[in-house]
Amino acid sequence: MNVLLLGSGGREHALAWKIAASPLLTRLYASPGNPGIGSVAELVKLDIADHSAVAAFCQEKKVDLVVVGPEGPLVAGIADDLRAWGIRVFGPSKAAARLEGSKGFTKDLCAKFNIPTAAYGRFSDLASAKAYVEKTGAPIVIKADGLAAGKGVTIAMTLEEALAALEACFEGAFGVAGAEVVVEEYLTGEEASFFCLCDGATALPFGTAQDHKRVGDGDTGPNTGGMGAYSPAPVMTPEMTERTMREIIEPTMRGMANLGAPFAGILFAGLMITDQGPKLIEYNTRFGDPECQVLMMRLKDDLLVLLNAAVDGQLAHMSARWSDEAALTVVMAARGYPGTPEKGSVIRGLDEAASDGVEIFHAGTAINGGALVANGGRVLNVTALGATVGEAQRRAYAALDRIDWPQGFCRRDIGWRAVEREQAGA
Ligand code: AMP
Ligand code: GLY
């Protein structure tokens, strides 16, 4: 098979690495890709926003499957447009990608199909949003409705913060994404990421993970796209997984089919495990980044076979097997992240740092004058397997410490919650 992978981050490097290992693969193209992806795929320059240009490339190169990494193109309808050209695509339609593209849409779906989630209100004007917040009180959560690159959520511990967040949204801090706002109840518990591979009718559980969103050790400082992750998530016991499937995922699959927008692709549920059980925080309609990196390390089956089954509506006959080992990834970021990262500093020593069971995925790198340089906020994902999360953590940091990149930084405590649990249980 010829495959085209769209995207340029660590998630896409992990997908490319796994797809490249498939005996089904003839050629792997990636656009725009990055130098790490370039070691396993042929990088091509395409304007991904120009869907007919992507379709023309697929026809010319006889591409049998397009795998879409990030949410932006999905919400823009790339899957529908390519399918209209007869091209097979792994990723949801525009209508199904509303699960990520509109928080209000997802909240209404939950209300309609009785899916446990935080109580909420949807508002398109400041005055009624303020009245709701004043009535409910703090802590409370304010969310821009649309895609805001992970920046549209404010956890307001006081009424003043909540009102300021509402004003910022309606003043255009998140552009059109904030023209509508969801205000919701503040949930407490432990968060987990739960993934399902979906074909429109069947949802196949596809791994669990926990990530660390704050930039600093001890989960402090501003939010980021994720500074590290590990899999599996200890809180997702078989019982919790079964409840999540029955109470959240299956009603969502039925609900979406009911609305004429069956969901096919990766359904990524952000969960809060509360005293009453799992509650949905949000959906994403693609793999998490960096959660994908740890999932791909643990997946024992051929990813391309599974993606094909999802595209062809054959998941009811499939299963996915996972390594018993834990995987953990540490993000190395460029100084300045999550604000404005410094670009261009030279990175050395990656070959020396990698070893058996350790993969270094590129997230934001470029080649400049023959040297590998930082070219984004999150730059590298140092990922390791281990018998326990603790062992995976030790191996990841041992590899990371061999990388020669003085301008990079990372958190030193990725996995702390699971490691503490392992130590308490030992
Ligand atoms: P989201 O972009 O919706 O995933 O939100 C980003 C982060 O904000 C989540 O990972 C949670 O840590 C937190 N969060 C979102 N909604 C809630 C909520 N209703 N209660 C508590 N924390 C939340
Ligand atoms: N790491 C969170 C996300 O990909 O949305």
- Domain span at residue 156? 125-179
CA–centroid distance, 399 to ligand 2, in Å, is 24
Same domain, 309 and 269: yes
What is the amino acid identity at position 135? K
Decide: 226 in ligand 2 pocket, CB within 6 A: yes
∠ CA 290-294-299, rounded to 5°: 135
> Does the residue 9 lie in any domain?
yes
Same domain, 160 and 196: no
CA–centroid distance, 424 to ligand 2, in Å, is 29
CA–centroid distance, 41 to ligand 2, in Å, is 24
Is 86 exposed, middle or buried, given 0-12, 13-18 or 19+ CB atoms closer than 10 A? exposed
The per-residue pLDDT for 152 is 81
> Does the residue 246 lie in any domain?
yes
Which residue, among 61, 48, 45, 54, has the nearest Cα to 1 in the 3D structure?
A: 61
> Does the residue 378 lie in any domain?
yes
Q: Determine which residue's CA is closest to atom 5 belonging to ligand 1.
A: 153
Q: How many domains in the chain?
A: 4
The per-residue pLDDT for 300 is 98
Decide: 284 in ligand 2 pocket, CB within 6 A: yes
What is the tens place of the pLDDT at every residue in 23-62?
999 999 999 999 999 999 999 999 999 999 999 999 999 9
Distance CA 123, CA 133 (A): 11
Strands 203-211, 190-199: pairing kind = antiparallel
Same domain, 311 and 333: no
Decide: 7 in ligand 2 pocket, CB within 6 A: no
Same domain, 357 and 405: yes
Decide: 118 in ligand 1 pocket, CB within 6 A: yes
Q: Determine which residue's CA is closest to atom 2 belonging to ligand 1.
A: 150
CB 192 within 8 A of CB 248: no
The per-residue pLDDT for 67 is 98
Distance CA 332, CA 378 (A): 6
The per-residue pLDDT for 136 is 87
Distance CA 372, CA 344 (A): 9
The per-residue pLDDT for 145 is 80
> Does the residue 112 lie in any domain?
no
Q: Determine which residue's CA is closest to atom 4 belonging to ligand 2.
A: 288
> Does the residue 105 lie in any domain?
no
Q: What is the dihedral of CA 162, 167, 173, 175, to 10 degrees?
A: 110
Of 91, 113, 139, the one marking the end of a domain is 91
Token digits for 370? 């023959």
Ligand nearest to the CA of 288: 2
Distance CA 37, CA 30 (A): 7
> Does the residue 219 lie in any domain?
yes
Question: Alpha-carbon torsion 376, 377, 380, 381, what sign?
Answer: negative
Same domain, 298 and 330: no
Distance CA 224, CA 10 (A): 15
Decide: 270 in ligand 1 pocket, CB within 6 A: yes
Of 264, 286, 317, the one marking the end of a domain is 317
| CATH number of the domain residue 333 falls in | 3.90.600.10
The per-residue pLDDT for 223 is 86
Ligand nearest to the CA of 291: 2
Same domain, 345 and 419: yes
The per-residue pLDDT for 168 is 86
Same domain, 243 and 305: yes
Which residues face 283 on adjacent strands? 269
| CATH number of the domain residue 196 falls in | 3.30.470.20
∠ CA 218-222-227, rounded to 5°: 60
| CATH number of the domain residue 141 falls in | 3.30.1490.20
Same domain, 296 and 343: no
The per-residue pLDDT for 426 is 62
CA–centroid distance, 328 to ligand 1, in Å, is 22
Same domain, 171 and 285: no
Q: What is the dihedral of CA 32, 35, 36, 39, to 10 degrees?
A: 100
> Does the residue 116 lie in any domain?
no
Same domain, 337 and 420: yes
The per-residue pLDDT for 323 is 97
Distance CA 276, CA 106 (A): 21
Decide: 338 in ligand 2 pocket, CB within 6 A: no
Q: Which residue has the tokens 């308490």?
A: 424
Among the atoms of ligand 2, which is closest to the Cα of residue 290? Answer: 1
Same domain, 367 and 394: yes
Same domain, 194 and 313: yes
CA 212 vs CA 208, 224, 230, 288, 291: distances in Å: 14, 9, 9, 12, 10
Decide: 269 in ligand 1 pocket, CB within 6 A: no
Decide: 71 in ligand 2 pocket, CB within 6 A: no
Decide: 211 in ligand 2 pocket, CB within 6 A: yes
Of 276, 291, 317, the one marking the end of a domain is 317
Q: Determine which residue's CA is closest to atom 5 belonging to ligand 2.
A: 288
Residues of the chain with pLDDT under 50: none
Among the atoms of ligand 1, which is closest to the Cα of residue 282? Answer: 3
The per-residue pLDDT for 231 is 98
Strands 27-32, 89-90: pairing kind = unpaired
> Does the residue 66 lie in any domain?
yes
